[in-house]
Structure 1
Amino acid sequence: MTVRDRWQVAAGARASTKGAGYVEDDGLVARLPPDAAAALLALGERVEYATGETVFREGDRDVRTALLLTGAVTVRTGGTAAEPTLLGVVCAGDLVGEMAPLDGNPRSATVAACGPVTARLIPQHRFLDVLDRHRALREELARSVVARLRRANALRRDLPSRAETRVARVLVDLVTRLGHLEPDGSRTLDLPLTNVEVGSLAGLKRRSAEHAFAALREAGVVRAGTRRVIHVPDLSHLATVAAGRRRQTTARPAGLR
């Protein structure tokens, strides 16, 4: 779905998720008034990135920002060359890399395309100018930054919790924001993320992340697909696990276990 599509269906998307126990994030653009959204969408040049291609690199003094039109990007920092820490996933309708143009400091993380991505790459002076002219954009940008911090804190809160509970919280967040609703009501998360990367969002090490996914698969909460696709048969079941509760199930005959 493109940014303009998300903008037009934002109200409907929010209404459709009220009864499901979560709130779908429609992106910064969808929350802006029409004049501010149009001004932001008109900025910069349109660029395309292939899967895995770097948008911004940690340590660089690139002071542009990117408005994602389609697709999603990963944000990583630190760690080892083989296993950098995954900080988050940002999707169409949101800005990424907005800190550097605001404070002029080197990039604090690497942003890479998580599948094909289309974006508008915005020069610093154009970005600062539109912020000056549109108070609504300034306010929504501030709310967006705060929301990301709150989301990161929420995914890592209560660290003594069971590993599968912490992974379930991450999956609820990712599936809600980036998943696809299938005809049978299940959800599919089709992102090139490993189980270890998903676990790192919850502050888990490799072994704990792998054990957590094994436990979730054993309980039927998630199913692994091809190409790192994750299937969630029942989002409410996943949300129950994320809340630290176990859903009551009818025991199966021994021969069907």
Structure 2
Amino acid sequence: MKSASDFLYYVPIFSDLPDETIEQISQVGIRKSFKKDTIILMEEDESGALFIIVTGKVKVTRTSNVGREVILNILSEADIFGEMALLDGLTRSATVTAIEDSELFIIQRNQFLEFLKEHPEISIALMQELSKRLRTADMQIKSLSLKDAEGKVATVIVQLATDQGRIRQGAVEIEKLPLQQDLANMAGTS
């Protein structure tokens, strides 16, 4: 099992921090395991922790007005979630479910906010991550409103290739492509 400080170096918002700061962060969080299909957070929950994926994958979903699940994102190792409620203190904006057995590192809101005050470089990295996610959301909105079903699915696959793909023999390979139903939910076509 990797120590917390070992995997925190790979988390983009922490990657430029000095060793001593990484070590401090590793001391305040807790590790928790979640089995596949376990709900980690529910939309509208009132909790304010930051979650870092150590191993596994999770899906971030919302439920439409007609009760249909819409997949907003699939996250994996070194990705974070929970940052919106952590920063604004409001309820959770989405449900997060483990789609593989997963281990998470959890930092409570008050402790993380103290680190932000002491280390403004974390704030800058967090803003960059939020900007990246906002751009992705903008692309999803454009895709949902302007494209037919085939175009929507193609947009989702391109986004997955950008986020998770690896170049092999001149082609981009997505190691674990979501199931057909999950792709449809991500594209808003189911």
Q: CA deviation at 1:81?
A: 8.7
Matched, 1:161 2:147: yes
Work out which of the two has the higher radius of gyration on C-alpha atoms and give 1 or 2.
1
Counterpart check, 1:28 vs 2:12: yes
Paired residue type of 1:173: Q
Preserved contact between residue 165 and residue 172 of structure 2 (Cα < 8 Å): no
Aligned partner of 1:66 in structure 2 is 51
Cα distance change, pair 184–148 in 1 and its aligned pair in 2 (3 A): closer
User: Which of 136, 139, 146 does residue 124 from structure 2 map onto?
Assistant: 139
**1:51-99 residue CA offsets vs partner (Å, 9 max, x unmatched):** 1111111121122221111222111112279632211122221221122
Write the distance in 2 (CA, Å) between the matches of 1:42 and 1:147. Answer: 28
Query: How many residues are paired up?
Result: 185
Q: Secondary structure at the match of 1:115?
A: coil
Identity %: 25
Corresponding residue for residue 72 of structure 2: 87
Q: Which amino acid aligns with 2:84?
A: M
Match for 2:63 among 53, 78, 83?
A: 78
Q: Indicate the structure with greater strand content.
A: 2
Q: So what's the TM-score if we normalise by structure 1?
A: 0.61
Distance 2:67 2:14 in 1: 36
- Structure 1, gaps ≥5 residues long: 9-26, 207-257
Residue among 188, 205, 210 paired with 2:189: 205
Change (3 A) 1:177 1:126: same
Where structure 2 has 5 or more consecutive residues not aligned to the other structure, the ranges are: none
